[in-house]
Amino acid sequence: MDIQDFCHLIDHTLLKPQATQQDITAICLEAREHEFATVAIEPVYIPYAAHLLKGSKTGITSAISYPHGCWSIDAKCREIEACLRHGASDCDYVIDLGALKEGNFKQIREEAKACRKATGNAIMKVILEVALLSDDEISAVCTICAEEGADFVKTSTGYLGSPTIDQVELMVKAVQGSATAVKAAGGFSTLERVNRALTLGVKRIGTSSSLKLLQAWGERNT
């Protein structure tokens, strides 16, 4: 893998609630320069980011029902539709964690199905928050999301703990044989940790440490 391929795997992330328009400008310019896959931002900044990224190879990931997943299905779908209308290319929604923890897999499936319909041809990533889940819950929700056509299952928001490498591996195994891939996010700030995830078969990395990772990549490969 060369540096360009590496950049194409990264969702360059800024999801701090105190982020300003100046901060958004900076990450969008960085993303244009390095051709990151997307910038991952809060919905309010999508129109502005779309303007800054027009004509570039970088898309826009919108965080949906972020960070706790407590929206109704209808609210998540409406948020997805609004974000796509304003220029998002990817939508990362947080699952209904309460429903999952009580074993309401029907709700999780209905949510995935409805969000897939709302997302249409755009990329849909489902955030699981694996630090709060058992191995059985992780496997079950990954299977459901794959069956409902998710493009990615994503480890974490980054707010409620980081995934272990074993949990990442479990997710990869759960979606094997499907069209669904794994996005690793939450604590992926070192090249060693990122490379371990990529070796397992992860296809996207969400990180706010993109530039740090590129510097480490350059130092390792020169």
Q: Which helix (H) or strand (E) holds 60?
A: strand 59-64
Lowest-pLDDT range of 90-94, 185-189, 215-219: 215-219
3-217: which CATH number, 3.90.1010.10, 3.20.20.70, 3.30.365.10, 3.40.50.300? Answer: 3.20.20.70
Average pLDDT over residues 68-95: 97
In angstroms, the CA 117 to CA 186 distance is 27
Would you state the pLDDT for residue 80? 98
Q: For residues 73-94, give the mean pLDDT.
A: 98
Active site residue 183: yes
Q: Give the active site residue among 90, 96, 125, 183.
A: 183
**Beta-bridge mates of residue 59:** 38
Q: What are phi and psi of 66, to 5 degrees?
A: -105, 135
Q: Cβ neighbours of residue 222 under 8 Å, at least 6 residues apart?
A: none
pLDDT at 221 exceeding the cut of 80: no
Average pLDDT on 14-39 reads: 97
pLDDT for 124 beyond 80: yes
Query: Taking the model in full, what pTM does it have?
Result: 0.96
Please give the average per-residue pLDDT across 55-79, as a whole number.
Answer: 96
The tokens describing 80, both together, are 């997805």
Give the chain's mean pLDDT: 96
- Active-site annotation holds for 57: no
Q: How confident is the model at residue 218 (pLDDT cuts 50, 70, 90)?
A: confident
Residue of 76, 125, 151, 154 marked catalytic: 154
Helix (H, G, I), strand (E, B) or coil at 184: strand
Residue 1: pLDDT band with limits 50, 70, 90: confident
pLDDT at position 208 is 96
Q: Which of 11, 90, 92, 96 is catalytic?
A: 92
Mean pLDDT of 33-38: 98
Quick one: pLDDT band at residue 159, thresholds 50, 70, 90? confident
Does the annotation count 54 as an active-site position? no
Q: Is the pLDDT of residue 222 over 80?
A: no
What is the pLDDT averaged over residues 158-178? Answer: 95
Where would I find the beta strands (DSSP E) of 105-219? 123-127, 152-154, 181-185, 204-207
